[in-house]
Every structure is written in C-alpha cells, then in structure tokens.
Amino acid sequence: MKKSLWTGAALAAIVAGSVSAQDLSGETITVFGTWLTPESDVIESIFDVFEEQTGATVKYVGSDSFEQQIIIDAEAGSAANISIFPQPGLAADLASRGFLTPLKEGTAEWVAENYAAGQSWVDLATFADQDGNENLYGMFFRVDLKSLVWYSPENFEDAGYEVPETMEDLKALNDQIVADGGTPWCLGLGSGAATGWPATDWVEDLLLRTQTPDVYDGWVSNEIKFDDPRIVAAIEEFGAFALNDDYVAGGAGAVASTDFRDSPKGLFASPPQCYMHRQASFIPAFFPEGTQVGEDADFFYFPSYADKELGNPVLGAGTLLAITNPSEGAQALVEFMRDPAAHEIWMEAGGFLTPHKGVDTSKFSSDSERAMNEILLNATTFRFDGSDLMPGGVGAGSFWTGMVDYAGGKDAGEVATGIQSSWDSLK
C-alpha cells in the first residue's frame, strides 16, 4: 500500500482548495518516472489529491533505469500513460518517433501566462513529430537551479564585502578580494569519469549572459558551431575566472584536479581559502556536516551584465510530464498538475522549486528554498543545461574533456574546434 503525506482532514482541505475536476471513476492512470523513495512518497501524495477529486486510480512506478526502460516500453507499445522525463532531449527523440501525444490545446498559452519566463518553458517542451510538425508535448514540474553563487555571510561581513548585483560588480569584487590578499573563487572540475562537467555549466551560464537566447539555442542544436567566435568568447569568459592564478584557490593548475565535491570546503576554512563558489542548488550536500544554509552559508544569483541588457537569464534543469499512452485520464492528470496545490504539496515537503507564478510561496519548507524560487520567478529567460541537450558523445563526452584540456592551458579556439569535430563525426 502506498504511503501518503496527507490523510483525513488535511487531504480534504487540499482537495477543497484545488480546482474542480471531471469524474473519472473506474479509470486507472499509470505514471512512470525516476523518483524513488522519499520523492516517490511525495508525488504519490499529490496524486492522492487527484484521486479524491476524480475517482480515478493513479499508479506510479519509479526506476533508476528510466532512460533505458522508457524506450523499451514505448517500442513495445506498453508505455505508461504518463512518463516523467528528467531531460527534454529524450522526450524530443520519442516525439520524433511518434511515441508522444500532444497536450491539450491551450496548454501552451496557459504555461506562457502562468510560468515565469513562460515562453521558455513552452519552447523547451515543444518538439517535432515524425512528420516534422511541432507540438507542445510536455509540461515542466519540479525545477533545479544552477545560476547560483555560494558564500559565507560571516566572511563577507568580516571583509566588508557586499553581494554583487551585476556581473560588473562581481568582477570588481574579484579584484577587490585579490587586492585585500584573498582569493575570490573555489573551483573544481573533478568528478571521476564525468570530470569537466562543472566547467560546462560555467560556459552555459556565461553564454546566456553574453549572447541572446537564440544564440544559446542555436549552439545547443548545432546550428551554431562550437568554434563560432561567440561560443569561443564564452569559453574564454570562463577562463577569465578559472585560469587566473589570483582568482582561484590553489591556482589555475589545481582547477582540473580538484574534485567538485571538495571544492566548496574552502569557503569554511579559517582563514577562508576562497570567498565564492558557483554551483547548483544541490551543492550544500557537500558542505561540512552541520552547515546551516542561510546562516553559515548563503547564495546569490550569478548576475548578468548591466550593460548588455539581456535580462536575468537562469540556467537549470527539471522534469517534464508527457503522455506516452493517451487516455482521457492522462490528459486530465497533466491538467491537474497545473494546480498550485500540486506544487505546494511538494513545496511543503521540501526539495522543490517551481516557475509557477500562482503558488503560495509561504508554503516553502525553508527560507532558502523560497529565496531560490524567487530567483526562478524573477528570471526573464530559462534555459536547460545545454550539455544535457547535446548528443551524449558531445555533451557528456568531448565537451567535458575539452574543458579539462582548456583548464590545462590549451587554446580555447583549438578546444572548440576539437569539440565541434567530435560532433561532426557523429553524422
């Protein structure tokens, strides 16, 4: 029997406060995703509300082999009604093979109006079918945020530093810290077989801050090549931070060999080995035991350039719901997931961010998650992690290794040409 976070009066109150739904008594809706315990307990509690509203039964199955199994199931004609994809590239591939069903008419307009940077979310879930016709196939639910800089408030206060509001301010802070005898950044690219991926996030974030979103999109789709001057410039912009011996703990030579999990520890050394660490919302898991986010460590938005007028772009990731076996109940369940109540249940449980502008932000489980979500809601553009959208041999291959080579002193243009050659060789 599945667990529920909500029972009795609490569940009744949530049902009463959420939108009305159709009668689906007797229908069973199957859902397949990557979430295992404890996350599966939360999503099942959200489905409890839908079941109470509609009379339907929702059966969720999670797997750590989702990416392989969904292809097997789709090809066999046995896919779940709804699949929850951890990245849009796989969903786009299945859509191109005719294995996804477009969402209801009007969903794109709803997302554009009700999600912050709404058109970004529409674009990310719009794919071509087997005939080349584009449709909205997915709706994003639960988002991860990458455009964050972590720091110690105590260290900033002791040194008299203020949180920078623009990239120009951030670069000035770099120089001020060095002038004061400190080191601005802790940075590590090490990650076992995945070494190099932290640098790809830096490049992606900096590309969004130096070029318009269409350049980012063209790069991710290979319409704009890796060795295009605009992409090379973003790599070199990363180098301005990472390859300056004065800017990084241990010097530029230590960047490639330092494990990303160890790199933020310099924030908490006494005296501090560094003052800032750019990394996604998950990094507190690798802070020293007992570190309290909001007290011992905090974060700010990795800022954009004031003089480039490109708004407030945000880099991240997220999961999207798509229909892999159509039914009346499947469409109804996706539509229910628009309801603020569906988001707020997970907000209260913790570990959840959402671009939904209609949620009650007081329901977040912590002030830090509320502050992260505020960054998401203030975004003018959201883009998915670019390396996750590229072919695996590039995004999880030559891009990673190329950035390690660059950190080791290889020319940015030469690195970019090599990555592009690896992409061309896939044809």
Average pLDDT over the chain reads: 94
| Range in 21-30, 51-60, 195-204, 255-264 with the lowest mean pLDDT | 21-30
Residue 105 has pLDDT above 50, yes or no: yes
Q: Tell me, yes or no, whether 205 lies in a domain.
A: yes
Q: H helices of 160-312, where?
A: 167-179, 197-210, 213-220, 229-242
Judgement on whether residues 227 and 276 belong to the same structural domain of the protein: yes
Residue 387 has pLDDT above 80, yes or no: yes
Judgement on whether residues 274 and 260 belong to the same structural domain of the protein: yes
Q: Tell me, yes or no, whether 77 lies in a domain.
A: yes
pLDDT in tens, 227-236: 999 999 999 9
If phi over 0 gives left and psi between -120 and 50 gives alpha, with beta otherwise, what is residue 180? alpha
Q: Tell me, yes or no, whether 368 lies in a domain.
A: yes
Nearest to 278 by CA among 187, 380, 180, 166: 187
Q: What pTM was estimated for this model as a whole?
A: 0.90
The CATH number for 243's domain is 3.40.190.10
Judgement on whether residues 289 and 344 belong to the same structural domain of the protein: no
Judgement on whether residues 61 and 197 belong to the same structural domain of the protein: no
Residue 3 has pLDDT above 80, yes or no: no
Q: Tell me, yes or no, whether 87 lies in a domain.
A: yes
Residue 11 has pLDDT above 90, yes or no: no
Q: Tell me, yes or no, whether 236 lies in a domain.
A: yes
pLDDT in tens, 300-357: 999 999 999 999 999 999 999 999 999 999 999 999 999 999 999 999 999 999 999 9
pLDDT in tens, 67-83: 999 999 999 999 999 99
The pLDDT value recorded for residue 22 is: 86
Judgement on whether residues 168 and 241 belong to the same structural domain of the protein: yes
Residue 19 has pLDDT above 80, yes or no: no
The total of structural domains in the chain comes to 2
Residue 15 has pLDDT above 80, yes or no: no
Q: How confident is the model at residue 87 (pLDDT cuts 50, 70, 90)?
A: confident
* Cβ within 8 Å of residue 308, ≥6 positions away: 209, 210
Q: Tell me, yes or no, whether 143 lies in a domain.
A: no
Mean pLDDT, residues 132-155 = 97
Judgement on whether residues 63 and 192 belong to the same structural domain of the protein: no
Judgement on whether residues 353 and 420 belong to the same structural domain of the protein: no
78-92 burial, b for 16+ CB within 10 Å, e for fewer? ebbbbbbbbbbbbbb
Report the SS3 class of residue 328. helix
Residue 9 has pLDDT above 50, yes or no: no
Express as a percent the part of the chain with pLDDT over 90: 93
The pLDDT value recorded for residue 7 is: 47
Q: 10 Å Cβ neighbour count for 16?
A: 10
Report the SS3 class of residue 139. strand
Judgement on whether residues 120 and 61 belong to the same structural domain of the protein: yes
Strand order in 298-301's β-sheet?
A: 277-278, 148-151, 298-301
Judgement on whether residues 34 and 103 belong to the same structural domain of the protein: yes
Domain range enclosing 19: 8-136+316-379
Burial group, residue 292, by CB count within 10 angstroms (0-12, 13-18, 19+): exposed
At 138, list the tokens: 């997915």
